[in-house]
Amino acid sequence: MAIFLHHYPASLFSEKVRVLLGYFGATWQSVEIPSIMPRPLLMPLTGGYRKTPVLSIDANVYCDTKIIARALARHFDDQQLYAHGFNAHRVADWADSQLFQVTVALNFSPDAIAAMMGNLAPEEAAAFQQDRAELAKGASIVSFGPEAAAAYLRHHLEELEAAVGDGFLFGPRPSIADFSVYHCLWFVQNNPVNAPRLEPYRNVLAWMARMAAFGHGSVVDSSGEAALAAARDAAPVPPGLGAPLPQGFAPGQNVTVTPVDYGRIPVAGRLAGWDAQEVVIERDSDETGTVMVHFPSAGFEVAAA
């Protein structure tokens, strides 16, 4: 089985998965996608889902880092990533939602975004801003300004400074919470305007160094064409979800799956499985053959098509 990560270097959620792949010691195929649409070699795999990253393992496609992390834990038979249960899950969800919004508000402030786009031509910068406006259409990725975000970050960093100690958030081994918090702070650290905000927090910086030390695993440069061929040449692995489907839904029913926050683009397919953790649809295309596309149950809406 070949693992393909469809990502681009500056994507903070991609960094979460890259470090997870390093933690698992994985060998994986790197498919660098554009930071903005169109993505013609990725859309056949996902059916239109446009957030970053996407992970594919042959003919199984995973959308959203929440389900990507679970897929990798299953793939590598890891019993530790989710060992801390409810508490680690709640921290991970908080980081992927509120802390994410804080870091985006900071890094999209005028000075910070100017630093991020300093090497882009004016037309490239305009295209990026237009793409993100379309991604957020009908939703708000952030609902507060950079001053409020800076206050939020100071508050969170003070708490993290006391929490990380010499290990990780919940002990001597990292949990899903560590990876979710880390990628948000990595985003801050990689912006020259906002990176100094982390400097007073020595424990946090030491913890970030421990996370970064996992590296990215063994990376093999690959292509969208190779990922499509891998999907086309394989049969998807059924999800094996034992839970009964919610009332009103049946196996094989035509449905759409849509994010509830932003990037609200429905993905259509046949319902293959649905439990408390994930929803899986089966879909076909000439480029991929039959694939199964996996989404988290939380944060996505399933509707009859």
Based on the fold, state whether residues 91 and 113 are members of the same structural domain. Answer: yes
pLDDT along the chain (305 residues), means of 10: 95 98 98 94 97 98 98 96 96 96 92 77 72 71 88 97 93 97 98 97 98 98 98 95 90 96 94 96 97 97 96
Provide the CATH number for the domain around residue 62: 3.40.30.110
Residue that finishes a domain, picked among 212, 244, 269: 212
Cα-Cα-Cα-Cα dihedral sign, residues 185, 189, 192, 194: positive
The tally of CA atoms less than 13 A away on the side-chain side of residue 185 is 26
Based on the fold, state whether residues 53 and 202 are members of the same structural domain. Answer: no
Based on the fold, state whether residues 162 and 191 are members of the same structural domain. Answer: yes
Based on the fold, state whether residues 174 and 122 are members of the same structural domain. Answer: yes
The dihedral formed by the CA atoms of 124, 37, 184 and 90, expressed in degrees to the nearest 10: 160
Residue that finishes a domain, picked among 212, 229, 259: 212
* Count of all residues that appear for the chain in the document: 305
Q: Looking at residue 125, what is its pLDDT?
A: 67
Based on the fold, state whether residues 199 and 251 are members of the same structural domain. Answer: no
| Preceding amide of 38 cis, omega within 30 | yes
Based on the fold, state whether residues 170 and 97 are members of the same structural domain. Answer: yes
Based on the fold, state whether residues 200 and 227 are members of the same structural domain. Answer: no
Please tell me the total count of domains within the chain: 2
Please give, one letter per residue, the 3-state secondary structure of 186-223: HHHHCCCCCHHHHCCCHHHHHHHHHHHCCCCCEEEECC
Q: Looking at residue 242, what is its pLDDT?
A: 81
Based on the fold, state whether residues 253 and 172 are members of the same structural domain. Answer: no
Range of the structural domain that residue 201 is part of: 85-212
Based on the fold, state whether residues 173 and 269 are members of the same structural domain. Answer: no
Q: Looking at residue 141, what is its pLDDT?
A: 72
- List of residues 6+ apart from 262 with CB closer than 8 A: 135, 136, 137, 138, 139, 140, 141
The neighbouring-strand residues paired with 7 are 32
Residue that finishes a domain, picked among 158, 190, 212: 212
Q: Looking at residue 140, what is its pLDDT?
A: 66
Q: Looking at residue 1, what is its pLDDT?
A: 86
Q: Looking at residue 123, what is its pLDDT?
A: 74
